[in-house]
Amino acid sequence: MKFLIACGFYGLQPALWIGIIRSYLIHTNRLKKERGIFNSAIYDDFYEGRHFVRMGLIFGILASVVLGGFLSISLEWLIIYEGLLLVSLTLIPWWLLSITVAGIASVLTLSVPTIAEFKPITHWFHGLGINSTTVAPLNVLILFVVIILTTAVFVNINGGRFDSPTLVRNQRNNKTAVYKFNELTIFPFFLFVPGDWLHTSLPMMPLFQVNNHFYAMLLVPILIGLKFTVRRSVPRTLLKVMSHSIYLLAGVGVGLAIVGYFVPQLILPAIIVLLLGYYLILWLAKHRDGQQSFEYSEVMDGVRVIGIQPETSAAKMDLKVGDVILEVNGIPVTDEDAFYRALSTNSTYCRFKVRDRNDQLKITESAIFKNSPHEIGVKTYTQLSH
């Protein structure tokens, strides 16, 4: 019964619903962008929402089962974290600060004893009826490592799976496609919050007493997400490499947590090191992407593929975004008109000669759905709406 009450309280928290709205807005903005470029969306389905729900459930169950019965967090951390979470979801819609929010909340929480003379903070908490509660600093570090680890899993599973292009201008003022990964989820983390403030203010909240200490049982909304633009690399490959680096960072965090168990003074520096390490990973990924000589730009000797619709003939062929179609049914093509004229020479079958991003030539072929070459599913620069 108490667990059901905690679940009901989780469903009432504004951060969850703002996260759902943000996910929906990301989806609608993507559809609008794709339709503006191609007159039709590449991905009609709401895969952002599907990932939001699926990953939220998986992370929530695993994190709560493994650590939920053992991990407690202070009410100060919870208030600071949820406040920053709401700000990041509402006032900073162009960037998801999941690890930053958790890192700042953790640093501020652990710094409270050293800034006890900073009256606005202490007066604010006391005005709410909140007195400082003792929670092992190691719990804050463990929670931060969990957020880093789940971010790595989220990016590894979902990053670069859907190549939705956005058009920009490069340094030479030429039109080029870039690919944005922009997704989030919020998962419920079963945690104990010491003190009876929550129960006193919200009598329906479950309250436990252990060794004369009171604990409220909460499902805390934890934000996981990332927005990252890939300009030159293969999106899936670059984001996979990034996720592996974040896995490594989480491993370092586990090691620091073990050290912090014996040397608590190192816990706050460890959180700062992990936060800086995360931004170093992002910078290295962006730098690695910028060092690539390839660009998803227009070409003169063929037709550049910048999007492939799922469940079409193109999706069943060995085509990748960035490929250049040189010949269709043995006929050289350099623009949209030539591309579709060549497709029309065979109403049920097509054969492409393609140059990939590594300048290697390949031949790929497929039947055409519904005897319609215009439904082949290849999106190119020559199909842009005017």
Q: What is the pLDDT of residues 48-88, one digit of tens each?
A: 999 999 999 999 999 988 887 678 888 778 888 988 998 88
| Phi and psi torsions of 9, nearest 5° | -65, -35
Q: Which residue has the higher pLDDT, 110 or 230?
A: 230
Contact call for residues 221 and 10 (beta carbons, < 8 A): yes
Alpha-carbon span 158 to 154, nearest angstrom: 6
Look up residue 315 and give its two tokens: 């999706």
Of 122-131, 175-184, 315-324, 325-334, which range is least confident? 122-131
CA distances from 263 to 48, 74, 113, 145, 269 (A): 42, 20, 17, 17, 11
* Digit-coded pLDDT (tens) for 306-348: 999 998 888 888 899 999 999 999 999 988 888 888 988 887 8
Contact call for residues 85 and 223 (beta carbons, < 8 A): yes
- Whole-number pLDDT of residue 260: 95
- Whole-number pLDDT of residue 131: 46
Q: Which residue has the higher pLDDT, 23 or 92?
A: 23
- Whole-number pLDDT of residue 348: 82
- Whole-number pLDDT of residue 221: 92
Q: Which residue has the higher pLDDT, 133 or 355?
A: 355
Look up residue 95 and give its two tokens: 């960037």
Highest mean pLDDT among 121-125, 195-199, 305-309: 305-309
Please, which contacts does 242-245 make with residues 24 or more away whose CB atoms are closer than 8 Å?
A: 242/155, 242/159, 242/281, 242/282, 242/285, 243/152, 243/153, 243/155, 243/156, 243/159, 244/152, 244/156, 245/281, 245/284, 245/285
* Segment 28-39 mean pLDDT: 91
Look up residue 360 and give its two tokens: 């290697």
Res. 31 pLDDT band, cuts 50 70 90: very high
Cα–Cα nearest to 264, from 142, 145, 118, 147: 142
* Segment 258-266 mean pLDDT: 95
Beta bridge partners of 324: 304, 355
Res. 369 pLDDT band, cuts 50 70 90: low
Alpha-carbon span 106 to 1, nearest angstrom: 31
Res 47 pLDDT > 90: yes
Asked whether the whole model's pTM tops 0.85, one would answer yes
For a pLDDT cut of 90, what percent of the chain falls above it? 54
Reduced to 3 states (helix: H, G, I; strand: E, B; else coil), residue 359 is coil
Reduced to 3 states (helix: H, G, I; strand: E, B; else coil), residue 104 is helix
Look up residue 49 and give its two tokens: 């929402």
- Whole-number pLDDT of residue 120: 52
Alpha-carbon span 309 to 40, nearest angstrom: 10
Q: How many CB atoms lie within 10 A of CB 314?
A: 23
**How many H-runs (helices) and E-runs (strands) does the chain carry?**
11, 10
Q: What share of the chain is helix, strand, coil (3-state, %, to 5)?
A: 50, 20, 25
Question: Residue type at 364?
Answer: T
